[in-house]
Chain A
């Protein structure tokens, strides 16, 4: 469904992504909060994974099963929104490839893909959001995760919303658009190369002089946070949605949870 024909209060299916679901649920709540601020109703259909690990490891059969599972689960919503350029890219760009040449499934896959959006581009490009009501006192630097940047054009939108956060300053790092070395299972399969790439990224992050590193993909964020923390670098790492939703005071990625 296109934005023009969407109802006044569209129903958005939040695709939390498996990493957010398992590791950092607070990003899911931040995303839900922002989607509601953008005038939408949020539902969370039963979900597991977008299938990208299977797809990128050559296991098309599993990728197809998971794609169909997601297509079925998100049937009744106007939009599917994910706080990840990588997972949204899988659902929007690659799911249709999986059913090319199969007219019925292809039609369903295309209709599904058309309603999939990465969180921040959904807020800005689809819902016309120009600012958020949030405060964050500090300097942040923003890493452009690869799939979001190159498959979905996520670049100006997060910066635009961050500029509206009170007390926040953006200090760009060198090469913000260069890969952090995560690459999904690449980070484990070729750990040594992945580490060499993230080491460069960590240097650029630290040189930017920001106290907080933000990005829109939890995989990349965990990779960069893991490197910065192992090296004892004083940079806190968060998903951009946390700051935009005013949750920037909660423990950052890899920090102990409070109390309990």
Chain B
């Protein structure tokens, strides 16, 4: 994996995140912003819950016939004059894109926001090939200025505060007069727009992701709030759509249903500001559009997921509602997860894509509170799927030795009710005696993870079962 891959160090990452005051301040925005907005948008739409069912069903149907829809999609794109490239691995996808850039002699590439680009490390590959990628989404642009990774799949810079971004702008846009006000987000956006406008016009190739691919028409759909996606795909000579295979939906009607749950779940908008459909290159008589149109379809482990118990994860439409509602994400932010996809969706997806031996912490770092599943627009049972990863880890002896031996000891007694009653009665009696004066313990062996910061209640005395039996005997 890469230098940015730190999932095995999740605990250390989390420790640092919890002790980073700026990050903690920024994470407050996740809780205060996204949740209330989604709630409001959902409450305003009487059929929202029914739409979620429908979105789940559309995705399930598509996944059940994915081979057919992929073929249909490819045929339509080809008929419209575009080219579809299948990329089995991340390396394949990066190579296909850089080869196209090389062939057309591209010096700069304007990029819309794409998590697939992050997954395949496209920017590093482009730079190695001498092509300069320019991120045009405001958040991604800031990430690129800072040499960072997105910490959220919809809001890449949610881990930053406004003053941090302002100082990055002043550092990089060195011609900015000191008195120029960059305090409001709108002024930051205007400043970025001014710089980026030139880059759009210079770019030889535009690369965008896709929120949906429509089999019926061979159309790719992206949603943005800044309009940068439109410019990335209409101004340059060549447009490359970078998407994973599960983005398919059968028809435009299906896509419009998906769009209704996507924006509401992601940002609480009824619909994103820009929803852009593109089908093939510029036709004779079109006033604008690219000369070449390519779609790179990434598999990277997804067709293997189709056949297994993680298939439901392929319904994901990347709205980020799960991480927006996750208490663990709220506590540590997205970078702690150590790879491209943070939060609950990443805790299921990352082990599928990079291996549970490497991403093993992620499905364990959940309280299973279930809030993610309760807001998922396509009803992915995220806790259940995380539990399946824990089962794979347990089977492969990847769980920590302390957890395994603790479970084994506890399992030994729990399977033997008579012995359990005897042992627990004695143990609780002794512990109760020890904790009698205070009623609680400030430290307990083997439970340091708890008692470092929290007291642990002492047992009242004898067990309930012993007391109940004694009471029945007396009666």
Which residues of A come within 8 Å of B, CB atoms?
Answer: 16, 18, 20-29, 32, 44, 46-49, 51, 53-60, 62, 65-66, 69, 73, 146-147, 150-151, 178-179, 181-198, 222-223, 225-227, 229-230, 251, 253-257, 260
Q: Which of B14, B390, B457 has the most C-beta atoms of chain A within 10 angstroms of its own C-beta? A: B457
Nearest opposing residue in chain A for B332, CB measure: A193
Q: Is the CB of B450 within 8 A of A179?
A: no
Chain B neighbourhood of A32, CB < 8 A:
468
Partner of A28, one of B327, B454, B455, B468: B468
Given A25-B460, A25-B462, A48-B415, 4 more pairs with CB closer than 8 A:
A18-B414, A28-B468, A150-B370, A230-B454
Residues of B within 8 A of A (CB-CB), count: 71
Interface residues of B, Cβ cutoff 8 Å to A: 11, 14-15, 18, 327-328, 330-332, 364-371, 373-374, 387, 389-395, 399-400, 403, 407, 410-411, 413-415, 417-418, 420-421, 424, 428, 432, 436-440, 442, 447-465, 467-469
Q: What is the minimal beta-carbon distance from B385 to any residue of chain A, in angstroms?
A: 12
Are B413's CB and A196's CB within 8 A? no
Residue of B390, B392, B439 contacting most chain A CB atoms (<10 Å): B439
With A58-B390, A58-B399, A182-B367 in contact, is A195–B460 under 8 Å at CB?
no
Q: What's the minimum C-beta distance from B370 to chain A, rounded to whole angstroms?
A: 4
User: Do A150 and B424 have beta carbons less than 8 Å apart?
Assistant: no
**Closest chain A residue to B390, Cβ basis:** A58
Are B454 and A226 touching (Cβ within 8 A)? yes
Most buried by B among A47, A187, A196, A255: A196
Among B391, B400, B454, B456, chain A packs the most CB atoms within 10 A around the CB of B454
9 A-B pairs with CB atoms under 8 Å apart are A48-B415, A146-B369, A178-B369, A190-B328, A190-B449, A193-B331, A194-B449, A227-B453, A230-B453
Q: Is the CB of A198 within 8 A of B454?
A: yes
Q: Is the CB of B463 within 8 A of A22?
A: yes
Bound: A8/B299 CA distance, A = 60
**Which residues does chain A contribute within 8 Å of B387, judged by CB atoms?**
55-56, 58
Across the interface, do B456 and A226 meet the contact criterion of CB distance under 8 Å? Answer: yes
> Nearest Cβ distance between residue A231 and chain B, in whole angstroms?
9
Q: A residues within 8 A CB of B459?
A: 22-24
CB-based contact A22/B428 at 8 Å: yes
Partner of B407, one of A46, A62, A256, A260: A62
Given the known inter-chain contacts A23-B460, A256-B439, A257-B460, please indicate yes or no for A47 contacting B417, CB distance below 8 A: yes
Pair A57/B407 contact, Cβ less than 8 Å? yes
Residues on B with C-beta less than 8 A from A254 are: 439-440, 455, 457-458
> Are A57 and B463 in contact, CB atoms less than 8 angstroms apart?
no
A194 and B449 CA atoms in complex are apart in Å by 9
Kindly identify which residue among B327, B395, B415, B448 contacts A178, using a CB–CB cutoff of 8 Å.
Answer: B327
Residue pairs across A and B with CB atoms within 8 Å: the count is: 216
6 smallest A-B Cβ distances: which pairs?
A: A191-B449, A183-B367, A58-B394, A226-B454, A58-B390, A25-B464
> Which residues of chain B come closer than 8 Å to A20, judged between CB atoms?
464
- In the complex where A69-B415, A150-B374, A191-B452 touch, is A28 in contact with B420 (Cβ < 8 A)? no
Q: A46-B465, A69-B417 are in contact. Are A57 and B367 (CB under 8 A)?
A: no
Provide the bound-state CA to CA distance between A56 and B394, in Å.
10
The residues of B that contact A178 with a CB separation of less than 8 Å are 327, 369, 371
Contacting pair A223 B403 (CB below 8 A): no
| Cα–Cα distance between A243 and B372 once the two chains are bound (Å) | 32
Residue of B nearest to A47 (CB): B417
Query: Which residues in B have their C-beta under 8 angstroms from that of A54?
Result: 407, 411
Q: Is the CB of A59 within 8 A of B407?
A: yes
Complexed CA–CA distance, A257 and B418 (Å): 27
CA of A253 to CA of B440, assembled, Å? 9
Beta-carbon nearest neighbor of B15 in chain A: A192
CA distance A27 to B468 in the complex (A): 12
B428 & A257 in contact (Cβ 8 Å cutoff): no
Chain B residues within 8 Å of A251, by CB? 439
A174 to chain B, nearest CB (A): 11
Residue pair A58, B463 in contact (C-beta under 8 Å): no
Expressed in whole angstroms, the Cα–Cα distance for A254 and B456 within the complex equals: 7
A229: chain B residues within 8 A (beta carbon)? 440, 454-455
Q: Are B447 and A181 in contact (CB under 8 A)?
A: no
Say yes or no: B465 contacts A47, CB within 8 Å.
yes
The reply to whether A66 and B461 form a contact with Cβ atoms under 8 Å apart is no
Q: Which of A48, A197, A226 contacts B457 (CB 8 A)?
A: A226
What separation, in Å, do the CA atoms of A258 and B288 have in the docked complex? 83
Docked CA distance A260–B460 (Å): 11
Residues on the A chain within 8 Å of B454, using CB: 195, 198, 223, 226-227, 229-230
- Find out whether the CB atom of B14 lies under 8 angstroms from the CB atom of A48: no
In the bound complex, CA of A184 to CA of B403 (Å): 12
Contact (Cβ within 8 A) A192 B411 = no
**Is B414 a contact partner of A66 (Cβ separation < 8 A)?**
yes
Taken together as a complex, chains A and B put the C-alpha atoms of A184 and B15 apart, in Å, by: 20
The residue from B367, B373, B411, B465 contacting A59, defined by CB atoms under 8 A apart: B411
How near does chain A come to B297, taking the closest CB pair, in angstroms?
Answer: 33
User: Are A150 and B371 within 8 A (Cβ)?
Assistant: yes
Find out whether the CB atom of A24 lies under 8 angstroms from the CB atom of B457: yes
User: A146 near B371 (CB under 8 angstroms)?
Assistant: yes
Question: What residues of B have a CB within 8 angstroms of the CB of A53 in the complex?
Answer: 407, 410
The residue among B374, B392, B436, B456 with the most chain A CB atoms within 10 A of its own CB is: B456
Nearest Cβ in chain B — how far from A192, in angstroms? 6
A188–B364 alpha-carbon span in the complex (Å): 12
Q: How far is the CB of A252 from chain B (nearest CB, A)?
A: 9
Best-buried of B393, B414, B424 by chain A (most CB within 10 Å)? B414
Q: A23-B457, A254-B439, A257-B460 are in contact. Are A196 and B366 (CB under 8 A)?
A: no
User: How far, in angstroms, from A197 to B366 measured CA to CA in the complex?
Assistant: 12
Residues of A within 8 A of B374 (CB): 150
CB within 8 A of A46: which of B328, B400, B410, B417? B417
